[in-house]
């Protein structure tokens, strides 16, 4: 037996999704989905673990476990609660989260979309709408500009294949809860285009 050695700089991390931990993500499609009768959401997120307010303590706990990286998502529904209107207080909140990660001697890795969409995007058709990839790119640009050079790594869209499968083909676990191969194909193409646009924006700005 030989010891398995990881390379210098290997990223050991923990990860969260904003909607699953922050709580009270009331402007998102997932919040509305959780309140809708007949969906698989038997336990609405509610306050979750209140990571939105307790992030400092949570980050300290993660660092205390010996990790060197924290992957977390910024919430589009908070940052752009209505179309074209960006909430500077929410951008400042995420700047403070990034600063707390750095102060804990960890590397911040930011996911730009982890399952949720703002309600106004959902009402326009979610990932079935031709407009969504460009709207996503605009939001990504605003986030990357706001966080500047404080973030080392960005993830564009978390598990886009799962989003396409569970939201647009079945089983109906995710919003918008539509079925059919045509919907899956269209949503998958939208997610791919959203990723491409987001990646290009990050590379351009960083």
Phi, psi of 172, deg, nearest 5: -80, 65
Closest by CA position to 38, among listed 172, 164, 142, 202 = 172
Measure the CA–CA gap between 161 and 54, rounded to whole angstroms. 31
How many other CB atoms are there within 10 angstroms of residue 152's CB atom?
Answer: 15
Strands of 69-73's sheet, edge to edge? Answer: 13-15, 69-73, 107-113, 153-157
Measure the CA–CA gap between 25 and 47, rounded to whole angstroms. 9
Catalytic residue status for 159: yes
- Catalytic residue, chosen from 22, 88, 159, 193, is 159
- Which residues are marked as active site? 159
């Amino acid at each position: 037996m030989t010891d398995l050695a990881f390379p210098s700089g290997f990223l050991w991390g923990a990860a969260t999704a904003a909607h699953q931990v922050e709580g009270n993500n009331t402007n998102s499609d997932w919040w509305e989905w959780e309140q809708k009768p007949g969906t698989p959401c038997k336990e609405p997120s509610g306050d979750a673990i209140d990571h939105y307010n307790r992030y400092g303590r949570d980050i300290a706990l993660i660092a205390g476990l010996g990790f060197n990286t924290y992957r977390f998502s910024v919430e589009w529904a908070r940052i752009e609660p209505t179309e074209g209107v960006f909430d500077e207080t929410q951008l400042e909140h995420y700047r403070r989260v990034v600063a707390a990660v750095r102060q804990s001697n960890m590397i911040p890795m930011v996911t730009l979309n982890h399952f949720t969409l703002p309600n106004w995007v959902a009402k326009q058709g979610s990932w079935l709408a031709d407009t969504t990839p460009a709207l996503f790119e605009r939001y990504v640009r605003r986030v990357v500009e706001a966080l500047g050079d404080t973030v080392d790594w960005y993830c564009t869209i978390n598990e886009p294949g799962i989003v396409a499968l569970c939201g647009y083909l079945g089983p109906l676990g995710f919003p918008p809860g539509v079925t059919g191969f045509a919907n899956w194909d269209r949503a998958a193409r939208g997610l791919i285009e959203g990723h491409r646009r987001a990646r290009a924006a990050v590379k351009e700005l960083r």
